[in-house]
Amino acid sequence: MAGAAPVKERGALTHPDLEGFDDVNRDILKVLSRPGKGWWALFALALAGLGLFFGSWSVQIVRGIGVSGLTSPVGWGTYITTFVFWVGIAHSGTLISAILFLFRAPWRQAVYRAAEAMTVFAVMTAGLFPLIHVGRVWYAYWLIPYPNSRFLWPNFRSPLVWDVFAVTTYFTVSAVFFYLGTIPDLAAARDGARGLRKKLYQVVAMGWRGTDRQWHHFGKAYIYLAALATPLVLSVHSVVSWDFAMGIVPGWHATIFAPYFVAGAIFSGVAMVITLTVPMRKLYGLEAYLTTKHYDALAKLCLLTSLIVLYAYLTEFFMAWYSGEAPERQMFWNRLFGSYWWATWIMLVCNGMVPITLWFKRVRQSIPALFVISIFINIGMWFERFVIIVTSLHHEYEPFAWGVYRPSIVEMGIVIGSFAWFGFWFLLFTRLLPPVAIAELKEVIPAPLRRRTTEENAHA
């Protein structure tokens, strides 16, 4: 029982190697000093990828959406796939920062800052894809609900309009939540910095002094924000799933979609947290902060959500058979053995089979193994969205309207480049903001007590 344990034993489990509060400031703020070669190499890679991203997008802007493979019958392809993928990635950040905060999970403190940054940058990446997908990006402001020239307002019955509200709210709230959480740590960075850096942190820390008044209201505001973010995160991916489930396309029109998408989102996001933090831990020497205990907990979360996702896959197949509907039945047969059989099997193997290894404690506690598994899951979850979107659209009701979609080079450039866009922001984050929550970590390491110190001296 973490809650009932005496103060001095609170953090003994999660961070056995940390001695005191000063260690935390020293180790985490060290990360913000001069970047090493490894960081520059990754940053150069990200910049190259950014070139690919904006280069490909420019080609599409100049020559039109025709450079993509999108055409009848498949009007939604890799862009929407990647949109759903990145929104999904975002979800586990909020899960770790808000839901696990409300549940008082003692292992969240060390991972949550990185996970929350991942959320903000993933939503920033996802938000670009509707703009890319609609082609004429200079009309992107049409997404904002305002009356058109004939005074017609948008149709609020449309899930696509819900999606605009859900994703913009999600971005705003998660960015605010993220910034608010970093304020005490920015103050710590300010107190440890000199010169221009100090001035910069002075501005962004907004004069945080850690007084009882500030902490008191901060703590309460944080709880309420977490309580608001929790239903928000569940609603966002539900709304994304309704983009599909509200349509009568076979393979989309299912009531299971909302919980199925939310579980999938958390599954992919937790895997992405592992993918991002393993190199970060190595590069910045944060082994004492992100211990095998943390990875074990993340792996368990992956295992749980993978089981939910696998169950949802099987339910979909069962319901298609049980419904007796020819279009539904052919759709799911076509998924397994049709033109895109390979995508479906990648999805099933990566998301259903590979995570089975997480039942073994030895695998959960091996960081290299988890890193490899997490990459499998990332790939599998991208293909899950591809399977849902593309296989459903290319093989609808009318056989004469069937067709095969192939992503073009430009589309692939944009999709691959989006990872660089995300990586660019994440790399900047690890250099400019403390990547592990300094203040919150101190809640889980034992507080310095005079009584204990004198006792220890007496025993010695």
State yes or no: residue 22 binds another protein (CB under 8 A).
Answer: yes
Smallest distance, another protein to C-beta of residue 24, A: 8
Q: Which residues does 442 contact at the CB level (< 8 Å), separation at least 6?
A: 21, 24
Nearer to another protein (CB atom), residue 76 or residue 162: 162
Smallest distance, another protein to C-beta of residue 200, A: 15
Site for another protein in 325-344 (CB under 8 A): none
Nearer to another protein (CB atom), residue 63 or residue 220: 220
Nearer to another protein (CB atom), residue 157 or residue 459: 157
Among 157, 194, 362, 459, binds another protein (CB under 8 A): 157
Smallest distance, another protein to C-beta of residue 25, A: 5
Among 219, 324, 368, 399, binds another protein (CB under 8 A): 219
C-beta neighbour count of 31 within 10 angstroms: 19
Report yes or no: 85 and 404 within 8 Å, Cβ to Cβ. Answer: no
Among 103, 138, 141, 224, binds another protein (CB under 8 A): 224
State yes or no: residue 253 binds another protein (CB under 8 A).
Answer: no
**DSSP character string of 386-403:** HIIIIIHHTT-S-GGG--
Q: Which residues does 88 contact at the CB level (< 8 Å), separation at least 6?
A: 237, 261, 264, 265, 268, 269, 381, 385
Q: Find the Cα–Cα–Cα–Cα dihedral 214, 218, 220, 221, rounded to 10°.
A: 130
Among 43, 215, 333, 371, binds another protein (CB under 8 A): 215
State yes or no: residue 172 binds another protein (CB under 8 A).
Answer: yes
State yes or no: residue 166 binds another protein (CB under 8 A).
Answer: yes
State yes or no: residue 217 binds another protein (CB under 8 A).
Answer: yes
State yes or no: residue 102 binds another protein (CB under 8 A).
Answer: no
Among 53, 85, 101, 162, binds another protein (CB under 8 A): 162
Q: Which residues does 389 contact at the CB level (< 8 Å), separation at least 6?
A: 76, 77, 80, 81, 84, 244
Peptide bond into 147 cis (omega under 30): no
**DSSP character string of 352-385:** IIGGGGGGSHHHHT-HHHHHHHHHHHHHHHHHHH
Q: Look at residue 144 and give its three-state secondary structure.
A: coil
Report yes or no: 334 and 250 within 8 Å, Cβ to Cβ. Answer: no
* Residues that bind another protein in the complex, under the rule CB under 8 A: 7, 20-22, 25, 145, 147, 151-157, 161-162, 165-166, 169, 172-173, 176-177, 180, 183-184, 187-188, 190-192, 206-221, 224-225, 228-229, 231-232, 235, 239, 438-443, 447-451, 453
